[in-house]
Amino acid sequence: MLPKSITLRLFLSECLVLAAFFALVVLTFDYVVIDGFAKDRLQDFMISLEKDAKEAVAQADNTTKFKMPDYFREGRFGDKDADLYGFIYHNQKEIWQSPSTKNDHRQVKTPDNLNLDQSLFLKDDSDKSRRRYVLHKSVILKNACNQPNNYILTVSEGDLFASTQVDKLNESLQESMTVLGLALLVIRFLVLRSGLKPLRSIVKDLEAIDEGKKELLNGQYPTELQGIVSNLNAFITHERVRLERHRNHLADLAHSLKTPLAILRGCTENFEGQKSTVNEQITRMDEIITYQLQRASVKVEHTVIKHIDVCTIIEKIHVSLSKVYLDKAIKFDILIPDHCFIYCEEGDLYEIVGNLMDNACKWCHHRVKVSIELNPRKDRRNYSLLLHIEDDGAGIPVGKFNQILKRGTRVDENIHGHGIGVSVVNEIINLLGGKLDGGRSKVLDGMHWRIYLP
C-alpha cells in the first residue's frame, strides 16, 4: 500500500532509483573494469616479452630458431608455478612457449588477419572452471642478418589475480557507494521538502481561510501552482457569492412576508371566531421566517461550481429570445468563439445574460449584437472574459445609468415590469467579483452593456 505522504512517496521512489543505479554500477564495474584491468596487465607483460624476443631474434641467424634469455624481464614467464604464459608464433606455427606453461597449456589459436603492430584482446572461456585473458600482437623482428620477419607474440593469464584485485576494489567501491548513496538520499530528501514547501503553504493558507484569518490565497506561489491557486480562489469567491445571495434571498423573503403578516394580524379583529387559529398560524409563520434567517447566517447547502461554457448558454438564450420576439424580426449578430469557459454557477450566468439580452430585444428596433473578448487572467484582480451586449434602440438617457442599477427603477415607467432586472444583474456581477458597465454603442447607436467576469 502506497504511503499517503507525497514527500514519502517521492523519497521511496528516489531510494528505489538510487538502489537500481548503484546495483547497475557495481555490475558494470565487474564486467568492464575487470576486463580493462586484465588488458592493462597483459599489455605490460607484452612489452616485456617483446623486448626479450627482440634481443633473442637479433642474435640468431635462423628465423625460427633462437634462444630466449634465461632470465626474463617479467620473471613469471620463467616460473613453472606461475599462471602467466607466453608464446611466439611464425606463419601460424608455435615456435616458442614460456617455461611457465609446463607443456600443459591450452591451444591458443592465433588470429588470421592481424595487421602490423595491431593488438587483439580476447577472453578464453574454453575451461569452464576459470577464464583466461589472452593478448596477441603482430610485430616485426630482425635477425642477425638484419632480415625482418613477422611474428605474433601472445601472452595469457588466468583471471585469479585480476578478480582478486577487482574484489578489493569492489569492497572499496561498495563502501564509497553506500556513503555516497546515503548522502544523496539526505540531499534529495531536503530538496523534496524544499520543493513541496509551496504545497504546504497552500494547505496552511487554506486553514487560515477556514479559520477566517484570510480571505483568499494571496501568498507567493510558484508559476506551476498559479493555475490551481486561481481556481481555488475562484471557487472560494463563488462560494461566498452563493452564500451572500442565499442570505439576501432569505432576507428579501422575510421582508416581503412581514407586511402581509402584519395586515393579517390586523384583520383578525374582524374574524372573532377564527381569531385564535389565524393568530396561531401567523405566529407559526413568524417563527419559520426567524428560523430561516438564522439558518441563512450559519449554514448553506453546498453546490458544485462548474466550468461553464459561455457560448452554449448564449446560444440557448438566443434561440429562446428569437421565438419570444418573433414578431420584431430581430437580427442577432452573435460573434463568439467556439468554446470559452469560466467558473460560475449556471443559474447566475443565465440570469446575467438572459436579463441583458432580453432588455436588448425589448428596446431594440431591429438589431442585437453579442460578442466576447477573452483576456488571459494573470491574477485575481484581472478579468478573463468581457461580454458585450448591444442594441440599436434609444439607449439610456444621460444621467440615468446609475439610477437604473437601483431596485425598482425603470427607464420607461410605461413598460410592464418590477424594475429589478438590471439591478439583480448588477448585484450578481458584483458578488462574482466582476463589473457591469454601460454606455452608447458606437456600432448600433443604442445601448451597449459591458460585463467583466473574472
Same domain, 96 and 228: no
Asked if 230 and 379 sit in the same domain, the reply is no
Residues 292 and 318 grouped into a single domain: no
- Tell me: the pLDDT tens digits for 52-75? 999 888 888 877 788 888 788 888
Q: Specify whether 326 is located in the same domain as 265.
A: no
Mean pLDDT (the chain) is 78
Q: What is the pLDDT of residue 305?
A: 56
Q: Which residue has the higher pLDDT, 312 or 128?
A: 312
Q: Which of 133, 166, 199 is the last residue of a domain?
A: 166
For the segment 179-203, what is each residue's pLDDT rounded down to a tens digit?
A: 888 888 888 888 877 877 888 888 8
Average pLDDT over residues 414-432: 65
Domain that holds residue 275: 223-298
CATH number of the structural domain spanning residue 406 = 3.30.565.10
**Mean pLDDT in residue range 276-294:** 65
pLDDT higher than threshold 60 for residue 292: no
Residue 289 cell numbers, joined: 421566517
Give the rounded percent of residues in the chain with a pLDDT score beyond 70.
77
- Is residue 176 situated within a structural domain? no
pLDDT of residue 273: 58
Report how far apart, in Å, the C-alpha atoms of 248 and of each of 72, 211, 254, 402 are.
108, 23, 10, 21
Question: Of 136, 166, 196, which residue constitutes the final position of a domain?
Answer: 166
Q: 346-363 and 310-324 helices cross at what angle (nearest 10)?
A: 40
Shared domain check, 159 and 94: yes
Same domain membership, residue 236 and residue 119: no
Last residue of a domain, one of 298, 316, 351: 298
Q: What's the Cα-to-Cα distance from 123 to each of 111, 154, 157, 200, rounded to whole Å?
A: 13, 13, 10, 58
**What three-state secondary structure class fits 151?**
strand
Burial label, 175 (beta-carbon count in 10 A; 0-12, 13-18, 19+): exposed
Position 1 in a domain: no
Condensed to tens digits (0 to 9), the pLDDT of residues 23-41 reads 787 777 666 677 777 888 8
What pLDDT score was predicted for residue 182? 84
- Say if residue 15 is in the same domain as residue 85: yes
Residues 282, 359 within the same domain: no
Q: Total domain count for the chain?
A: 3
CATH number at residue 49: 3.30.450
pLDDT for residue 341 is more than 80: yes
- Shared-domain flag, residues 154 and 34: yes
Whether residue 135 sits in one domain with residue 229? no
Mean pLDDT of 156-169: 74
In this prediction, residue 117 carries a pLDDT of: 80
* Torsions phi, psi for 315 (to 5 deg): -65, -40
